[in-house]
Chains A and B, each alone.
Chain A
Amino acid sequence: GAGVSQTPSNKVTEKGKYVELRCDPISGHTALYWYRQSLGQGPEFLIYFQGTGAADDSGLPNDRFFAVRPEGSVSTLKIQRTERGDSAVYLCASSSPLGSGANVLTFGAGSRLTVL
């Protein structure tokens, strides 16, 4: 596609429920990132994929958070047993293959998660 697509754009759920957020990166981009942005804050790194594998998942806050990218394209961020503190905008970004320049990230519009 022309840009990074994220679905759903908005998700309201109840505390304790399971949530999946989807990211469709720019075609041909091998690197994919998930960030979380709370109100009034900058994006906070969660996980980075290079191809199908998670190259760095050091930003995942705990084991309730998990992400996959089984075919090296679409990625899903999964949150189990959601808590009110998980409420934030979850941003996905992709970048062109390594070695092709400054590795600039292109972001999607985000998925706004509200946990009641």
Chain B
Amino acid sequence: GAVVSQHPSWVICKSGTSVKIECRSLDFQATTMFWYRQFPKQSLMLMATSNEGSKATYEQGVEKDKFLINHASLTLSTLTVTSAHPEDSSFYICSAMDSPTDTQYFGPGTRLTVL
């Protein structure tokens, strides 16, 4: 149980284009999902908290207009990186919180490379 999927697992795009990443909780409903970013040899950094049916809450320093988050259902949250640039190349990881235990379960991650 408590499986979280992400799609795509990797993506390469040109600078200036937008990329959408999906995060799904497969066997539980998640009112709250989280998006993280991880650069090489660094730890995970929280980008934003996504609550179903409401606006996401972004961490300090994360541009909300660049990283658009939509949490339209209890099993799906999406992160769109708009006008991507090479410095946005990173490993993006989502997590979904299982309400009864408040435990976060993580997806496998999406590796974004912007050329």
A binds B: no
Interface residues of B (CB under 8 A from A): none
